[in-house]
């Protein structure tokens, strides 16, 4: 058997996901981290500081394409490559509510490809609530039926990870329990459910809440809603879109300070086709999405996903909320990896996949390494 030579990467500082290391090198063997050691000769100099690769659980598109448009291996490769340029080294390709045949094609595509940066498939809909549809096509929203459940249970056996955003209005407690038992990550979202209903679905096995505050029942002092469930129930991890548009900065801070554990908050990009592309707009289910002033909207002004990569959310948390770099990074590395149940991503301790990015002082990606190989 051929011996793989170790590679050493050196930067001004190295963050292992927990601690900072100075005058050190990151030792990589093949696609795995061996450890962080004192500085030594023969290391490859990297710009900025080395930090764990970002993990994004909600990526709808990138590089000018959407998964909904053409759920193929080529589309997935384009999306992954677009986000790698910005330091995202593990992502869940996300399909927004669509026709059954498109869902099936997305499952087949993710099952067939071998992309180190692709963690699995996130199906956001179609089993959500019309009252909280957001940008989802109302004509495609529907209750979960037996054949839908069967398809998802089968997909869970074939995919590395399957995440499904659904609403109690369209899915029963028994169906959620069956999905959770099969290893599907069930996330509550696009729902008007009350606190008690959300807690019942958490008891059945739901583990997350999708893009907190957006497209859900809000926090009232007598009716806490799904927002209240996400913040008060330690079983539910919750994603946040930190782009300055989807959630007010004050509400971001309240969520980060008020979340009950052990499940925590994590950042998502909710990125669309525009990330890593100069396009000024695109089509989603036959409707035009407009790009302007950092936002993506339908013609009526409804927000339609986000025009950011995950590193932009990290930077926003630093500049708008004043979070220390390591705290902002945790929201995009260790926290989403833990929420998904992935032990070898989001950190650079021994045994982790050798995925990292190099950050400049302005919290922008200068270089990206996936599996020990530089990709951007």
pLDDT per position as a tens digit, 44-63:
999 999 999 999 999 999 99
For the chain, give the percent of residues with pLDDT over 90: 97
Domain co-membership, 163 together with 196 = yes
Q: Is the four-CA dihedral 287, 91, 370, 157 of positive or negative sign?
A: negative
Domain co-membership, 233 together with 99 = yes
pLDDT classification of 2: cutoffs 50, 70, 90 = low
Residue 2 within a domain: no
The number of residues in the chain equals 376
pLDDT classification of 4: cutoffs 50, 70, 90 = confident
Check residue 221 and give its pLDDT: 97
**Number of domains making up the chain:** 2
Task: Please tell me the distance from the alpha carbon of residue 26 to that of residue 35, in angstroms, as a whole number.
Answer: 6
Residue 193 within a domain: yes
Q: How far is CA 196 from CA 21, 168, 223, 224, in A?
A: 45, 11, 10, 9
Residue given tokens 């909600």 in the structure block:
58
DSSP characters over 231-300: HH-TT-EEEEE-SSSSS-HHHHHHHHHH--SSS-EEEE--B-TTTTS--SEEEETTEEEEEETTEEE-TT
Catalytically active residues, by annotation: 270
Residue given tokens 């893009």 in the structure block:
211
Give the tens place of pLDDT for each residue, 245-270. Answer: 999 999 999 999 999 999 999 999 99
Is the pLDDT confidence value at 1 over 60?
A: no
Q: Which domain holds residue 173?
A: 54-340
Q: What is the pTM of this model?
A: 0.97
Domain co-membership, 266 together with 329 = yes
Task: Please tell me the distance from the alpha carbon of residue 366 to that of residue 202, in angstroms, as a whole number.
Answer: 40
Task: Please tell me the distance from the alpha carbon of residue 261 to that of residue 255, in angstroms, as a whole number.
Answer: 12
């Amino acid at each position: 058997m051929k011996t793989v030579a170790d590679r050493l990467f050196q930067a001004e500082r190295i963050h292992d996901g927990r601690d900072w290391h100075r005058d050190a090198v990151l030792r990589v063997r093949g696609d795995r981290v061996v450890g962080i050691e004192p500085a030594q000769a023969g290391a490859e100099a990297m710009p900025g500081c080395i930090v764990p690769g970002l993990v994004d659980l909600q990526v709808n598109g990138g590089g000018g394409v959407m998964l909904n448009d053409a759920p193929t291996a080529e589309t997935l490769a384009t999306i992954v490559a677009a986000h790698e340029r910005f330091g995202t080294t593990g992502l869940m390709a996300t399909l927004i509510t669509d026709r059954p045949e498109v869902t099936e094609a997305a499952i087949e595509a993710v099952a067939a490809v071998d992309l180190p940066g692709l963690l699995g498939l996130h199906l956001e809909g179609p089993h959500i609530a019309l009252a909280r549809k957001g940008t989802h096509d109302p004509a495609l929203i529907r209750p979960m039926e037996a054949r839908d459940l069967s398809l998802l249970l089968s997909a869970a056996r074939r995919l590395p990870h399957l995440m499904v955003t659904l609403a109690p209005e369209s899915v029963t407690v028994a169906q959620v329990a069956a999905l959770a038992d099969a290893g599907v990550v069930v996330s509550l979202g696009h729902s008007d459910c009350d606190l008690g209903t959300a807690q019942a679905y958490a008891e059945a096995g739901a583990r997350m809440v999708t893009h907190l505050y957006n497209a859900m029942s809000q926090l009232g002092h007598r009716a806490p809603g799904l927002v209240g469930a996400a913040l008060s129930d330690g079983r539910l991890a919750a994603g946040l879109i930190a782009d300055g548009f989807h959630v007010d900065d004050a509400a971001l801070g309240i969520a980060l300070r008020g979340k009950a554990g052990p499940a925590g908050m994590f950042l998502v990009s909710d990125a669309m086709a525009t990330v890593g592309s100069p396009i000024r707009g695109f089509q989603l289910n036959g409707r035009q999405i407009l790009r302007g002033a950092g936002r993506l909207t339908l013609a009526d002004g409804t927000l339609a996903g986000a025009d950011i990569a995950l590193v932009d959310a990290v930077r926003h948390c630093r500049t708008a909320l004043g979070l220390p770099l390591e705290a902002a990074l945790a929201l995009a590395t260790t926290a989403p990896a833990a929420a998904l149940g992935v032990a070898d991503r989001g950190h650079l301790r021994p045994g982790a996949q050798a995925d990292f990015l190099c950050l400049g002082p302005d919290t922008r990606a200068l270089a990206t390494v996936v599996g020990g190989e530089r990709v951007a």
